[in-house]
Structure 1
Amino acid sequence: MPEGRIVLAEAVVHLATAPKSNASYLAIGRALDDVRAGRSGSVPEHLRDAHYPGARALGHGQGYVYSHDSPHGVAEQQYLPDPLAGTTYYEPTDRGAEREVASRLQRLRKILRGG
C-alpha cells in the first residue's frame, strides 16, 4: 500500500482535473444498441484464430494483415463484422485532449478504410 498510494493519488488528481466528455459513454451505448438489435454479425474470417488444425481449411486467418508490418502500425483491413463494416461508434469532442485524439483518429480511420 505505501508504494501504491502515491500513484493512486496522482491518478485521482488527473481524473478529477481532466476535461470531461461523454463521448466514450455514448460510443459504448451505440455499440450495445447494435448488439441488442442483433446487428453484431460474425468475426471476419481473416481475424479468426488460425492456429489449430483445420482452421486454415475453414478460411480462418486467410488475408490477415499484421498491423505491425504496416506503415504507422495500422493495417488496411476490416475489423468489424460485415453488417457493421464502416460503422463509427466513438466520436471525440473538440475539447481537451480529445481534440488531438480526433485528429489522430481521422488519420487512422482513413488508413483502415483504404482512403
Structure 2
Amino acid sequence: LYDREGDVHYDTISAFIKSLRGSDPDAAVYWLARMLAAGEDPRFIARRMVVHAAEDVGMADPMALVVATAAAQAVEFVGLPEARIPMTEAAIYIATAPKSNSVVEAIGSAMGDVEAVRAEPVPRHLRDSSHSLAAARLGHGKGYKYAHNYPGHFVDQQYLPDNVRDRVYYQPSESGFEKEIRRRLLAWWKGIKRYAFPKS
C-alpha cells in the first residue's frame, strides 16, 4: 500500500526522480501516475520536478525549469484532476531534455569555499559607488570597467576576491545549450580561467 509517510512514498518519488534523470519518459509518467492515483500531494511532486529541472537538466536546457515551474503553478491554479496534464508535460520535458548537473556542482563548490576559505572584502572596484562620498572618499568603484562600453559587452576584469580569484565554479558541459555557453565562456576568458575537460 502507498503510505504518504512511509517507505513506499519515498521509494516511489525516488523512482520518479531517477527516471527523470535517466531520460526515460515512460517510466517517469508511470511513477507520476502511481503517485497521483495513490493520492500523493501534487504540490510535493511539482516541487520535486522544479528542483530536478535545475539539478539534472540545468543549463543544458534552461527551459526545463520554466516548464516545471509552470506545471507547479498549474497545480495551484487548476488543481487535480486537470493539473495532471501539465505535470505530465513537465515530467516528459525533463526526462527528454539534455542533462547536466553543472549548476548543482557550481553552487556546491562555491558554498564549500564560502565555508572553508576566509571571506575577503569585496574588491574596491566592485563596491557600490552610487553614494558620492563612498566614491570620493573611499574610492569605491574606482577602476570599474562597465562591460557595455566594450566590444561584445565583455571586458576582462576581476570579479572575485583575491584569495579565490582563480576559482572556476561553473564548469559547463557540452550537453544541449550548455555547449554554446561553454563556447562563449572559453572565448571571453581565454587564457584567464581554466575550464575542465567537459563532460558530454
Q: TM-score normalized by structure 2?
A: 0.48
Match for residue 124 of structure 2 among 45, 51, 75: 45
2:164 counterpart residue number: 84
State the superposition RMSD in angstroms. 2.6
**Map of 2:180 onto structure 1:** 100
Q: Which runs of 5+ in 1 are unaligned?
A: 1-6
Look up the SS of the partner of 1:54 in the other structure.
helix
* Equivalence map 1:1-115=2 (5 Å): 8=70, 12=90, 14-56=93-135, 57-110=137-190, 113=192
> What are the Cα deviations for residues 50-81 of structure 1, in whole angstroms up to 9, with x where unaligned?
12142121110100111101111112211111
Could you tell me which amino acid in structure 1 is paired with residue 116 of structure 2?
A
Identity over aligned residues, as a percent? Answer: 44
1:76-100 deviation digits (Å, cap 9, x = unpaired): 2111111111211111112222222
Structure 1 residues 53, 96: closer, same or farther in 2, change over 3 A? closer
Give the length in aligned residue pairs.
108
Instruction: Give the number of the structure whose alpha-carbon radius of gyration is greater.
Output: 2
AA paired with 1:76? Answer: D
CA distance in 2, matches of 1:109, 1:18: 28
C-alpha spacing 1:105/1:14, structure 2 compared with 1 (3 Å): farther
More helix by share: 2
